[in-house]
Structures are given as C-alpha cells and as structure tokens.
Structure 1
Amino acid sequence: MSELLSWLQLTQLPISRRQQHKLLERSGSVTGLFNDVETLAQLQYHCDKRGIELPTKGELYERAQALHERCALLGWSILTSDMSEFPERLLDIPDPPVVLFVKGRSTVLSGPQLAIVGSRKASPLGAKVAHRCAKHLSDWGVSIVSGLAKGIDTAAHQGALEGGSPTLAVLANGPGPVYPRANQQLAEQILEQGGALITENPPGCKLEPWRFPERNRLISGLTLGTLVVEAGLKSGSLVTANLAASQGREVFAIPGALSNPEARGCHQLIKQGAVLVESPEDILSALHRELREFCPVKVQPDLAPGLGDSPLLRFLGASDMTLEELLDVSGLSVRQLQIELAQLELGGVIVRRSGRYFRNN
C-alpha cells in the first residue's frame, strides 16, 4: 500500500510525465525518490524557477490517499509501471504512462490487440465495415481496442462484443461516468463480457481537448497495429495512426469512395505506406509474425499436433482455393471455417495470398 501511494504521489507532482520518469531513473525507485534529499532539492529548484508551487510531502500523501480511496469506491484498480500486469507494449512507447487506472480484467491488456479507430461521423457503410472487421478479428482471438467515441469506435466495440475476445476502451476522462454519456451502457457491456476500461487520468480530472491526443498514444501503444476506417484529413484518427507508425506499430487503412470526405484521411495514409485493407484477412496476414507469439500452435506443421489432420488440407492439396470455395466444399459455417483457417495460418500450415489459400509445402 505504501509503495502504491508513493506512485500516486509521483503523479501529483506539478511536472510532466517525462520529468516524472527522469526522477524515477535518478532515484532508482519510487520510494527512494521521496526520501532522496538531493532529488527533492532539484525538484524544488525546478518548481521555483517556473513559479510553480510544490506541494508538501503531507499534501502529496493526502492527495494520493484520496485518489486511492476514490478508485476503490468506484471499483477501479491501479497499475503502476513496475507491476507485472502493466502492459509491456506501453513501456516501449516514447512517453509511457506512470500509472494506469483499470476497470475490468487487467489481464487482457497484454494479449494480442488491434486498434480500430475512425470518424465520429461514420457513414452507415463505414460503421458496418468497422463492425465486421472487429467481429472477425475478435473471433480469431484478437482483442479490439478503441476509444469509446461515437461512430467508428462504437461500431468497433459492438462488433468485438459479438466475437469471441474481450474488447478494451481507452478513455480520455478519469474513472467515473464515461464520455460520451450515451455510451455508458456500451461500457457496461464491455465489462460484463470480460473486457476493460483504461485511462491514465485520475478521478475527477477535467476533460480538456488536449487529453484526447494524449489518450490516442495509449490506443496505438497497446496494440500490434491500428486500423483506420473513415477519417477526414484533420481527423484525430490520423493522429492515432501517425503515433502508431512512430511507435513501430503497423498501420492499416480501408479505402473509400472518392466522393466521401471521410475517406480522404485513409487515402492519405495508404499513400504514405499504410497497408490497404479489403478484408480482415489482410490484417491477419500482415500481423502473422507478431501473432505467432500469442498462438499456442507451433509454427511448423510437423510440430503442430492435430493441424495436419484438418480436413481443409485435403481440399487445399490439389489447388489453392478462396474462402467462398472452401465454404462450398467443407460444409463448415463461416465462423467455424474462419477459426480453422486462422489456426492453420498462424501455425504455418497454410498461407494466404490475394484472397486465396495455399498449403505451405
């Protein structure tokens, strides 16, 4: 408890996250930070130089204790960056959070995840595409991450809820009622189905415009890649995509009609090198290598017990086939076929090129 309160005290210092991390590096531990006379003197000098009042140790402790009690009352847990449950991928980004506030299952933060973002003013087609991609990827074991906003975010969360994996919503506000209020019920459904709500902002913080791009770096940082579905040239979704690229993550974009202004951002991303997506399978293929570490199936067919017995391999033995052709001959449902193909592809038994499946001989 005392160490957790020290982490919360660190977040209450009137300095940036980068400076908070520098203090941690200098002191070696968060508890050592508040007992290091030299570090505290440097902190006081920094605040005096900028005309900022530095809270006393007593004031910091009271604020930290109040934060802890408020989170407990609201049912939110607190993850610090030294905890094993803290998502490892977030530690790789240039500006990681010091703490995360989480409601729901924190274990889902470290699984295979893909961000789906886009316009708040989504077209019916755009919302349908986001829903379809989210559901299919969720069926394949990929958790969908988005920002719980109206439009594409909402469609992505709803599609994921119909799939087989939990979905995660990264909030710009702190623990408490979600923003927008219209998605409070959606947030509750996410929790009921084993997902999580995440924020780096404390309870009661003011929801200001700058918090949204700050939030977006967490959406991209948590995931293996970001899919943009409908985005104007000035959309916040392009900020998320650019952050993903700067973090070394894959960027995907779905093209749209030339007459649709909400497709121009996606077209710009494709020109800049984003992977053009026509179906969810394109994402799975592009992330094939990254997804292998989360797949319990071995990479080589001879090391993957059971995969070599799949009846689908009989159909793919003579020639390559499309998804529709395999549906006709296999007798499987769409979902069953997609799951089996995903397992075979992740296991290295088959490969997919240009919409056709081949045995990996």
Structure 2
Amino acid sequence: MDSEDTLALMRLLAGGGRSEPRRHLLQSHGSAAAAVRAGPTAWRRAGLEPAQRAALMAPDPGPEVTRWRRWLEGGPGRHVIGLHHADYPALLARLPGAPLALWVLGDPDLLWHPSVAVVGSRAASAGGLRNAFDFARTFAAGGLAVTSGLAAGIDTAAHEGALAAPGGRTVAVLGTAIDQPYPRRNTALYARIAACGAVASELPPGAAYSRGTFPSRNRIVMGLSLGVLVVEAALRSGAAITARLAGDAGREVFAIPGSIHNPKARGCHRLIRDGAGLVETPEEVREALAPLAISLGDALRGRLAAPIQPAGSVTGTTGTAGPPTHPDHQRLWQALGHDPTGMDELVSRTGLTAAELGSMLLLMELEGRVEVGHGRYSRKSQ
C-alpha cells in the first residue's frame, strides 16, 4: 500500500459529505497527500464543509480508515484507485461526477481494457440467458472484456460466458461494498472473477448499501464500457436505464430484439425505436466498437507515456506501425516471439515486474501487435 497518498485518500473518503468539493481539492492539488497537507484554508476554499474539515484535522484517521487499511493489506489483488491516480480508468473519469475512488479486487488493469457492458433482466428467459452467455463468450474470445453487475439473470450469464472463453476477461461492478458479493448465491462467481478478472465498487469494505447504490453501480458499469448491450429488459428496468445513461454519455447502445409476446423484450424494443442499434450477432457489436477501442488506446498511451503509434483493433486487425520505441517496450518486444510465452518467462527475460508487463502487453494487444491465449503472449502474425 502506498502509505501516504493512500492513507490521505482514505481520510478524504471517510470525511463523507458532498463529493464535488473533494473532487475539486484532488484536482487542484494533484494528489490526495498534497490535498490533505494543504490545510484548512485550502480546504475551505475548495468548499469542504465544517464536518469534512474536522475529519481531516483529527489526529486519528478513525475506525473506518483502520478497517479499510486492514482489508487492503489482507491479501493480494486489493486496491483503491483515486480519481487523481493515473490508473483510474480513463472512460469513467470522463463522466461528470465520476466516483472519487474505486475499490478493486483482482486485476485493476482490466478497468482500462476495452469492454462492452452486457446487461438485462434478473428474471430472464432461457433464450435471453443463452444469448447473454453466447454474446459474452464471443466478445471475450475476440479480445473484449465483458462488464456487468453480478446480478442474477443476464448479468450472471454474461460473466459466465466471458469466463468460458479461453483467456476471457470480465469485470463485475457491485452495488454493495467491495467485500460483500451480492446476491449471496453469486459468492462463488465473485471469487472466480476476482481470481482471473476484476471486481470493482465505489463502496469501501464494510459499507452499507441501499436501493440508491444500485443505480450508481449501473452508471459505473456504463462508464467503464465502450458500449452497452441490452439482452432483455422490461420497459422500466435497471438495464433500460443503464442504456439510456449510456446514450446520454455518448456511448454506443445496442439491443437484441425479442418476441412481441415477451414482456422482457419491450425495453429492448423501446431502445431500438429510440435509436439503439439492433443487433443479431456479436460481430455487429465488435465492428461498431473497434474504432472506439483505438481511442481508448490513445488514452492508455498517455497513461504509460509510451510513444507508440495506433494500429489494429480489438478484433485482431494487424496494424502497420513499426516496433515500439520506449526502452522498456523494446525490451518486452524483443522478449516476445511468435511462440506463446507465459508471464513468468517474460518477467525472467525482461527483468520487469508482472504489473509493468501487464500494462505494456495490454497496450500492445490494443494496437494489434500482440495476441493472448490461455495466459500466454506472442507477437501477432503479420
């Protein structure tokens, strides 16, 4: 745990109250540690309320922060990522009112990976569940991550479909605290996603949830994704609301049509009438999202400060740009061959850490230079 900045971020979070003043404080000072060190005058200027300022002035960070630190230090793959961090997902950061922080269990790099949200009814039909599973598996096999909300029904089928693809990636966004899988019957699925994907929540360990936290969850699902696919949804459902939020935010929205006799298809039909893309195959979604994935690659290049030109797409199209020029990227490029190589071997060949390699491999994969299968990496054939 990055003790000073992470502790400062947690103190800002524990202070509660309105988010906007704390967001302004983070943005104006560049780090949580600098924001906390700025002192009462700067806090007041940023608009922090008296209770928020008092919490920052207290000599003891309080029991909440102690509990959160205990969770972060309780095992591998536990993270808190502040809005000011370079690792905060770029697509989500662009939304007005993005969460001040995300708690993550698993691989935080997946929050940057190009993904499609797959959402729909909790009480889905057998056909809807099959569509969610098949579409998600195809997305994951083609290099896209699948983001959903771990709910029963369509969400569960989407996560399962992504995990069924070799090397498939999926992100589960909770409406509950990061340490509280919901519904409880999805506890095993939560553990599987944490082990080979990522679970994220804006609610810290031990926090209480309410009906209001689930719409906020839906907004994060949308915000992390290039587009939203609605498989089945009633007219007034969380999935339909997520899709409308996506449209308002400039995301691509897709819907699968259904029987006119299925009430769970009416939300999809309404979305299609309102301009959502009618899709019948996963390939239609992937083709529409490929240009947006390149834009995400541009943001990732800025995060890594790597001078690599855009090329390729998430569908595996090979680009024409030359080899990478950043020294660490060159070292990785030389270590990669046309035969699949595991992460441990790449660490040994390059002397870089797995975390460093993971970010670079993600960028190269976005650009169509690298392909991955069963956790092993190789240069993509020209």
TM-score class, shorter-chain normalisation, is 0.7 to 0.9
Matched, 1:153 2:155: yes
For 1:68, the equivalent position in structure 2 comes to: 69
The 2-side partners of 1:271 and 1:41 are apart by: 48
Which residue type is aligned with residue 7 of structure 2? L
Structure 1 range deviating more: 58-67 or 9-18: 58-67
Change (3 A) 1:278 1:29: same
Matched, 1:297 2:312: yes
Contact kept in structure 2, 1:232 and 1:265, CA below 8 Å? yes
SS in 2 for 1:303: coil
Displacement of 1:300 in angstroms is 8.9
Contact kept in structure 2, 1:230 and 1:266, CA below 8 Å? yes
Contact kept in structure 2, 1:115 and 1:223, CA below 8 Å? yes
For 2:282, the equivalent position in structure 1 comes to: 280
For 1:7, the equivalent position in structure 2 comes to: 9
Please give the residue correspondences for 1:241-280 in structure 2 after superposition, counting only pairs within 5 Å: 241-280=243-282
For 2:19, the equivalent position in structure 1 comes to: 17
Displacement of 1:188 in angstroms is 1.7
Matched, 1:166 2:169: yes
> Runs of 5+ in structure 1 lacking a partner?
306-345, 348-361
Change (3 A) 1:119 1:67: same
For 1:113, the equivalent position in structure 2 comes to: 115
The 2-side partners of 1:300 and 1:70 are apart by: 41
For 2:234, the equivalent position in structure 1 comes to: 232
SS in 2 for 1:173: coil
The 1-side partners of 2:149 and 2:33 are apart by: 33
Change (3 A) 1:284 1:199: same
Contact kept in structure 2, 1:44 and 1:54, CA below 8 Å? no
Tell me the percent identity: 35
For 2:191, the equivalent position in structure 1 comes to: 188
Which residue type is aligned with residue 73 of structure 1? G
1:322-349 per-residue CA deviation (whole Å, 9 max, x = no partner) reads xxxxxxxxxxxxxxxxxxxxxxxx98xx
Structure 1 range deviating more: 31-40 or 111-120: 31-40
**TM-score, structure 2 as length reference:** 0.73
1:99-137 per-residue CA deviation (whole Å, 9 max, x = no partner) reads 111111111111110000000000000000011100111
The 2-side partners of 1:212 and 1:155 are apart by: 19
The 2-side partners of 1:301 and 1:79 are apart by: 33
> Runs of 5+ in structure 2 lacking a partner?
298-309, 323-366, 369-382
Contact kept in structure 2, 1:21 and 1:98, CA below 8 Å? yes
Displacement of 1:191 in angstroms is 2.9
Change (3 A) 1:132 1:28: closer
The 1-side partners of 2:136 and 2:249 are apart by: 22
Displacement of 1:144 in angstroms is 0.2
Change (3 A) 1:14 1:124: same
Displacement of 1:304 in angstroms is 8.5
For 2:138, the equivalent position in structure 1 comes to: 136
Which residue type is aligned with residue 128 of structure 2? G
SS in 2 for 1:148: coil
**TM-score, structure 1 as length reference:** 0.77
Displacement of 1:44 in angstroms is 8.6
SS in 1 for 2:102: strand
Structure number with greater Rg is: 1
Matched, 1:93 2:108: no
Which residue type is aligned with residue 297 of structure 1? G
Match of 2:203 among 201, 204, 209: 201
1:14-44 per-residue CA deviation (whole Å, 9 max, x = no partner) reads 3222232123245554233333221334579
The 2-side partners of 1:204 and 1:17 are apart by: 20
Which residue type is aligned with residue 176 of structure 1? D
Which residue type is aligned with residue 155 of structure 1? A
Which residue type is aligned with residue 170 of structure 2? T
Match of 1:82 among 72, 77, 84: 84
Change (3 A) 1:231 1:3: same
Contact kept in structure 2, 1:27 and 1:39, CA below 8 Å? no
The 1-side partners of 2:261 and 2:134 are apart by: 23
Change (3 A) 1:255 1:38: same
Provide the alpha-carbon RMSD of the alignment: 2.7
The 1-side partners of 2:50 and 2:228 are apart by: 38
Contact kept in structure 2, 1:71 and 1:203, CA below 8 Å? no
Displacement of 1:292 in angstroms is 4.2
For 1:58, the equivalent position in structure 2 comes to: 59
Change (3 A) 1:46 1:37: closer
The 2-side partners of 1:34 and 1:185 are apart by: 39
